[in-house]
Structure formats: structure tokens, C-alpha cells
């Protein structure tokens, strides 16, 4: 059962410990948020400066993917335990979606 957390036997200590953990985690969240903003800025600047199309397209998509991974693993807690089934199904969805996008951008060319 998932609601049996490891306990020290003393609820107060546990709560203190948990609060601290939560706080620490919140710090990580803020860090990843700043990173996300940073990535967004790079993407917008890259486009604003108008580098070559062949460079920009893959580059900003890469930035988007990184950013989304931050969202998923930090904001949506996928890095936590108990997310095996969610990640299995999310990645399956991503796979199906990627195949779809690939097909639509290759074999509908006219």
C-alpha cells in the first residue's frame, strides 16, 4: 500500500522531515523553472536573430523537448516513485504521436 510511508515512529519528526523535503524540492522546482524560462528565451532569440532555417528548426525543437522533460519530471513529478505506469503510457503515447507526425510530414508531400 502506497500510504505506508517509511516512518520514524514519531509523527512530529516525520512531518518536520517531510516539510523540509518539500521545501527542498520546491527549490528544485524554482531552479527548473528558471531553466525553462532561459531555454524559452534562447529559442525566441534564435528566431529573432534569424539564423538559417536548417539550424534553427532542429535546435528549437531540441529546446522544446528539454523543456518538456523538465515539466514532466519536475513539475509533474514523474521523477518520483510510483510513476512507472504513467511513464509507460505517456511514452507509448509519445511514440504513437511521433510516428504520426513523422508520417504526416513525409508521406503527405503534395
Partner 1 sequence: MSTLAQKKGFGATLWDYLTTVDHKKIAILYLIAGGFFFLVGGLEAMVIRIQLAIPNNDFVSAGFYNEVLTMHGTTMIFLAAMPLVFAFMNAVMPLQIGARDVAFPFVNALGFWLFFFGGVFLNMSWFLGGAPDAGWTSYASLALESPTNGIDFYALGLQISGAGTLMGGINFLVTIINMRAPGMTYMRMPMFTWSTFVTSALILFAFPPLTVGLFLMIFDRMFGSNFFDASAGGNTIIWEHLFWIFGHPEVYILILPAFGIFSEIFAIFSRKRLFGYSSMVFATVLIGFLGFMVWAHHMFTTGLGPIANAIFAVATMAIGVPTGIKIFNWLFTMWGGSITFTTPMLYAIAFIPSFVMGGVTGIMVASAAADYQFHDTYFVVAHFHYVIVGGVVFAILAGTHLYWPKMFGTMLNEFLGKITFWLFLIGFHLTFFIQHFLGVWGMPRRIFTFLPDQGFETSNMVSTIGAFFMAVAVIVMLINVIMTSIKNERVGNDPWGDGRTLEWSIPSPPPFYNFKQLPLVRGLDAYWIEKMDGKKGMTPAEPLGDIHMPNSSFVPVVISFGLFVAAFGAVGIGDKEAYGIPVLVIGFLITFGSMFFRSVKDDHGFHIHKEDLMNDDDKGGKA
Partner 2 sequence: MHADEKMTYETWPAAPEKATLEAKNKFLGFWLFLGGETVLFASLFATYLALKDKVPNSEHYLAKDLFDLPLVFMATMLLLTSSLTSVYAMYHMKNFDFKKMQLWLGITVLLGAGFLGLEIYEFNHYVHEYHHTFTSSAFGSAFYTLTGFHGAHVAFGLAWIITLMVRNSGRGLDLYNAPKFYVASLYWHFIDVVWVFIFTVVYLMGMVG
Select from partner 1, partner 2, none the partner in contact with residue 42, using the beta carbon and a kind-dependent cut-off of 5 to 8 Å: none
Binding site for partner 2 (CB under 8 A): 2-3, 5, 11-12, 15, 18-19, 22, 25-26, 29-30, 33, 36-37, 40, 43-44, 46-48, 50, 53, 56-57, 60-61, 63-64, 67-68, 71-72, 75-76, 82-83, 85-86, 89-90, 92-94, 96-98, 100-101, 103-105, 108
- What DSSP element (H or E) covers 62? helix 53-70
Q: How far apart are CA 84 and CA 106, in angstroms?
A: 33
> Among 89, 91, 101, 102, which residue interacts with partner 1 (rule: CB under 8 A)?
89
Contact 61, 102 (CB under 8 A): no
Cα distance between residue 39 and residue 35, in whole Å: 6
Give residues with Cβ within 8 angstroms of 56, minimum separation 6: 46, 47
CB of 24 to partner 2, least distance (A): 11
Chain residues that interact with partner 1, rule: CB under 8 A = 85, 89, 92-93, 95-96, 99-100, 103-104, 106-108, 110
Amino acid at each position: 500500500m502506497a500510504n505506508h510511508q517509511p516512518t520514524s515512529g514519531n509523527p512530529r519528526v516525520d512531518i518536520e522531515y517531510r516539510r523540509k523535503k518539500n521545501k527542498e524540492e520546491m527549490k528544485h522546482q524554482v531552479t527548473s523553472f528558471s531553466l525553462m524560462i532561459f531555454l524559452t528565451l534562447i529559442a525566441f532569440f534564435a528566431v529573432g536573430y534569424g539564423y538559417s532555417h536548417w539550424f534553427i528548426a532542429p535546435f528549437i525543437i531540441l529546446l522544446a523537448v528539454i523543456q518538456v522533460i523538465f515539466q514532466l519530471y519536475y513539475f509533474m513529478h514523474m521523477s518520483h516513485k510510483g510513476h512507472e505506469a504513467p511513464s509507460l503510457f505517456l511514452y507509448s503515447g509519445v511514440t504513437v504521436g511521433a510516428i504520426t507526425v513523422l508520417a504526416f510530414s513525409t508521406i503527405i508531400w503534395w
